[in-house]
Amino acid sequence: MSTVGLIPRLAKEEAAVLAREMVRWLGFRTHVPLVEEEAGIEGVPSAPGSVIAAAADLLVVLGGDGTLLHAASLCNGREVPILGVNLGTLGFLTEVPRERALPLLEMALAGQLTASRRLMLSVEVRRGDAVLLSGVVLNDAVISKNALSRLAILEVAVDGRPATTYEADGLIVATPTGSTAYSLSAAGPIIDPNMDAILLTPICPHTLTQRPLVLPADVPVRVRLLSPGEMFVTLDGSHGRPLELGEEVWLKRAPQRTLILRNPEVDQFAILREKLRWGIR
């Protein structure tokens, strides 16, 4: 008997309908379904998301990539396999289409799906020795300005050595998984999600000589804000805090991974061709 946690996208009726269908389907097969209670779906067994992630043998995301990022954040160091059913738009991470949800769920429960073990980054915002914010990201940590701030000056050190200084609207520090998210819209490169690397992508840099940088995942990165202004650090688009003059953002490889179950009916390049319309004039 397996405990299966269902993480539906909030306020999406299609996700609620599918969650109820999966609860019935799993119950008939003697599995234990639990739906994240924050979704507010009535008539199904539910529990807080953090409780579900602590007990589940499998998490099933019913939504888009943002919902999968939320599910990954619930795991709190546990490497729980996640099956992503795409009810959103792009769906780089949620590879399973709605019509194939139940067959692929059956394969997941039978151990027939391969897991892609995705790199995560541990992030700390520091002022001297004080840690002001900490967390783990699957996609990215973003340092960005508000609408009225001037260009930021961001000093980057890699493995304790000075690397470069970016003058830009901000900086995206992304994993390979996050290379198809905000970093891509800022002209960053696409990195195979199975690689271990850290990607630095400046946001609207002041000069064309300031380019994205791909680093090995085993070297720590430190970013220090050298200019006054209203800057903000955001972790995976969900939470963050202001960044003030002299404060630093420290990033390194996290000890845990996010396990995303792959859809064997598609490959990574097929996803890129579909989502990015490669080769379409």
How high is the pLDDT of residue 1?
67
Specify the length of the chain in residues: 281
- The continuous run of DSSP H or E covering 258 comes out as strand 258-261
Distance separating the N- and C-terminal Cα atoms of the chain:
50
DSSP secondary structure code for residue 9 in this structure: P
Over residues 223-240, the pLDDT tens digits come to: 999 999 889 999 999 999
Over residues 82-103, the pLDDT tens digits come to: 999 999 777 789 999 999 999 9
How high is the pLDDT of residue 277?
80
Q: Catalogue all structural domains in the chain, each as residue range(s) with its CATH number.
A: 3-118+257-276 (3.40.50.10330), 121-253 (2.60.200.30)
The full DSSP string for 81-97 is EEEEEE-SSS-SS--EE
Identify which of 100, 137, 147, 86 has the alpha carbon closest to the alpha carbon of residue 258: 137
Task: List, in order, residues 6 or more apart from 247 with CB less than 8 Å away.
Answer: 125, 126, 127, 132, 224, 225
Identify which of 75, 76, 142, 122 has the alpha carbon closest to the alpha carbon of residue 218: 122
How high is the pLDDT of residue 65?
93
Query: Helix H segments across the chain?
Result: 13-28, 49-55, 65-74, 101-109, 182-185, 268-276
How high is the pLDDT of residue 270?
80
How high is the pLDDT of residue 7?
97
Pairwise CA distance, residues 124 & 132, whole Å: 7
57, 65, 192, 196: the catalytic one is: 65
How high is the pLDDT of residue 148?
67
Positions in the chain whose pLDDT score sits under 70: 1, 147-149
**Catalytic (active site) residue 159:** no
Pairwise CA distance, residues 187 & 192, whole Å: 16
